[in-house]
Amino acid sequence: MTRIPDFHAAKWDEPVIYEIGRPGARGQIFDAPDARVTEAVGTDLIPAAMARSDAPALPEITEFEAQRHFLHLSQMTLGMMGISLFGTCTMKYNSKAAEYATLRPELAEVHPFQHPDTLQGVLEIIHDFDAILQNLSGMDQFIFQAGGGADAAYTMATVARAYWADKGMLGQRTEMVTSVQSHPCNPATAAAAGFDVVNLPLEENGYPSLDALKAAVSEKTALIMINNPDDMGIYNPEIKEWTRVAREAGALCFYDHANFNGVMGKLSARELGFDACMFMLHKTFGAPKAGGGPAVGAFGCTDDLAPYVPGPVVLKEGDRYRLDEDRPKSTGKVREYWGNVPQVVKAYAWSRAMGAEGIDLASDISVVANNYMDKKLGEIPGLAISNPDIDAWRMEMTRWSLGPLTEETGVTTVDFANRMADYGIDPYWMSHEPWIVAEPFTPEAGELWSKEDIDTWIAVIAKIAEEARSEPELVKTAPHNQPVAQVQGDVFEDPAKWAMTWRAYKRKIAGDDAARGVA
């Protein structure tokens, strides 16, 4: 029998840091500067116009108090130390070796405005990782400026716009074609770039038919944007025909590789007929994903589109590397500098550590683990698989539905996710909006989690399904074993209740007259 964790999170009566400490407390006391220093540089180093007239409102605490405070906060955070089968946003172990590499002064202390002669090591890593992704995709050029998957999709939309403008056909090529099950960033970013979006519905095989595609593309089509496999776990075997049909209409083809984990090492975007693709380094390539912050959407394309990509581009000339800023056809930057370089270094470290054989094996494990999980989840009453009429193996993730259980018990997928946290399991990812599967959840095992971890995760799902029938209010009012109870989402709809800083808290909630400037 798989043991279900008897979990209870740490809970401290921990105030915010501004509410602890006392005047005069210090973590470190510095000696007065040596007289020889003040004689050399003076004592009035801050211009009078910039000097504060009063002390800043900062907490005054000792070093140990600060350490204890943040340790308590970390203990009350479930984080990624639990089992997290977070589908569509592939979660992988972030190696400590890669983390350490980005903390080294050769990277941490450099600045992109330095002369390229002083950045040769960093530029070499970017150039070599570009080559790795070219080998995986068949593309001719990669850049890492985009700040995530949606930003990479937007990069494609702007590159397509520049491409058609350069050919004098932007007024004609006004449409983008995608699938209703494509990631929402594809139609959203195409619309933001000025294209009209044509969304194709899913048909009996779980993807739009070729006939639907043929009816949609025309001399107006600027590009198609599609992910394959999709979040249902379904791979469209007709994808080569899709790109052929689109290219016959003169359109560009973009491959959203967000779900690359199950096919990495197995296929090439170029061989499938695509002009460009993107990878999410914070998903497939082992770089961390921290609250939507340090993401990278690697954008790759063929030589035909390379002149239009955002710059600068890292080039190798002899044994030296330089930044190519002279790109007159470039669509312009989509983000500052060259992108999030520390994430590129971490992804590079992951790729080098895995090697071609490791990447190929990881995709095998990902597919096997997902189909093992699908079989076990299918044995739990109240769950339904997406596209239930399709009797075929799914890829590295599958979208499931709690619709039958919700109809029976009233327990929703949000309730279910909250209750999972009570067992020390990271709540699952549900689905992109709008939901096209009722009460969805989308697990993804990837190559990281062991069979024992997967069994534990499934056992928790089965346990909560039983609770939904026997004690539905227990599930609806979860979490119970966490330091924070249910978060009421309506708070986020009212700016008057937001308090992102201590000053805002005092002004909005604590009613501090001084903070409001009231005498």
List the structure tokens of 229. Answer: 């496999």
**Looking at the predicted structure, is the pLDDT value of residue 502 above 80?**
yes
Helix (H, G, I), strand (E, B) or coil at 321: strand
Q: How many CB atoms lie within 10 A of CB 354?
A: 18
**Looking at the predicted structure, is the pLDDT value of residue 43 above 90?**
no
Q: What is the pLDDT of residue 239?
A: 96
- Beta carbons of 151 and 334 less than 8 angstroms apart: yes
Q: What is the pLDDT of residue 48?
A: 86
> 305: closest CA among 209, 167, 203?
167
Work out whether the CA dihedral 199, 201, 202, 208 comes out positive or negative. Answer: negative
Q: What are the tens digits of pLDDT across the range 229-238?
A: 999 999 999 9
First-to-last alpha carbon distance for the chain, in angstroms, is: 67
Q: What are the tens digits of pLDDT across the range 188-211?
A: 999 999 999 999 999 989 999 999
pLDDT, greater one: 273 or 39: 273
Q: What is the pLDDT of residue 478?
A: 96
355: enclosing H helix or E strand: helix 341-377
pLDDT, greater one: 511 or 250: 250
Residue with tokens 């998957």: 149
Q: What is the pLDDT of residue 294?
A: 76
Residue with tokens 């007289």: 35
In order, the DSSP letters of 173-199 are: --EEEEETTS-THHHHHHHHTTPEEEE
| For helices 451-470 and 341-377, angle between their N-to-C axes, nearest 10 degrees | 60
Cis ω for the linkage preceding 495 (within 30 of 0): no
Mean predicted lDDT score pLDDT of the chain? 91
Torsion of CA 191, 196, 202, 203, to 10 degrees: -170
384: enclosing H helix or E strand: strand 384-385
Q: What is the pLDDT of residue 515?
A: 47
139: enclosing H helix or E strand: none
**Looking at the predicted structure, is the pLDDT value of residue 37 above 60?**
yes
Q: How confident is the model at residue 93 (pLDDT cuts 50, 70, 90)?
A: confident
**Looking at the predicted structure, is the pLDDT value of residue 45 above 90?**
no
Sketch out the chain's domains with CATH numbers.
17-77 (no CATH), 116-348 (3.40.640.10), 357-476 (3.90.1150.10), 488-519 (no CATH)
pLDDT, greater one: 29 or 199: 199
> 255: closest CA among 298, 210, 225?
225
CA-to-CA separations, 21 to 57, 64, 506, in angstroms, rounded? 13, 11, 18
Q: Tell me what the mean pLDDT of segment 337-350 comes to.
A: 92
Residue 497 phi, psi dihedral angles, 5° rounding: -105, -5
**Looking at the predicted structure, is the pLDDT value of residue 509 above 80?**
no
Q: How confident is the model at residue 46 (pLDDT cuts 50, 70, 90)?
A: confident
- Comparing 163-172, 248-257, 492-501, the range with the smallest average pLDDT is 492-501
Q: What is the pLDDT of residue 292?
A: 53
**Looking at the predicted structure, is the pLDDT value of residue 512 above 60?**
no
Q: Please give the angle made by the CA atoms of 100, 148 and 88, to the nearest 5 degrees.
A: 95
**Looking at the predicted structure, is the pLDDT value of residue 11 above 90?**
no
| Cα–Cα distance, 404 to 414 (Å, whole number) | 15
- Comparing 56-60, 364-368, 369-373, 471-475, the range with the smallest average pLDDT is 56-60
Classify residue 99 as exposed, middle or buried by CB count within 10 Å of its CB (0-12, 13-18, 19+).
Answer: middle
Q: What is the pLDDT of residue 514?
A: 47
Q: What is the residue type of 517? A: G
Q: What are the tens digits of pLDDT across the range 276-310?
A: 999 999 889 988 876 555 789 999 999 999 999 99
Strand partners, 316: 321
pLDDT, greater one: 7 or 455: 455
**Looking at the predicted structure, is the pLDDT value of residue 437 above 60?**
yes
**Looking at the predicted structure, is the pLDDT value of residue 95 above 90?**
no
Strand partners, 384: 401
Residue 320 phi, psi dihedral angles, 5° rounding: -120, 160
Q: What percent of the chain has pLDDT over 70?
A: 97
Residue 329 is classified by DSSP as: T
| Cα–Cα distance, 350 to 360 (Å, whole number) | 13
Residue with tokens 């549900």: 430
Q: What is the pLDDT of residue 352?
A: 95
> 445: closest CA among 371, 508, 358?
371
Q: What are the tens digits of pLDDT across the range 380-433?
A: 999 999 999 998 889 999 999 999 999 999 999 999 999 999 998 988 999 988
Report the DSSP pairing between strands 175-179 and 400-401: unpaired
Q: Tell me what the mean pLDDT of segment 76-88 comes to.
A: 75
Count of all residues that appear for the chain in the document: 519
**Looking at the predicted structure, is the pLDDT value of residue 78 above 70?**
no
pLDDT, greater one: 501 or 158: 158
**Looking at the predicted structure, is the pLDDT value of residue 20 above 80?**
yes
pLDDT, greater one: 283 or 80: 283
pLDDT, greater one: 481 or 89: 481
Q: How many CB atoms lie within 10 A of CB 119?
A: 23
Report the DSSP pairing between strands 252-256 and 221-227: parallel
Q: What are the tens digits of pLDDT across the range 136-168?
A: 999 999 999 998 889 999 999 999 999 999 999
Q: What is the pLDDT of residue 291?
A: 56
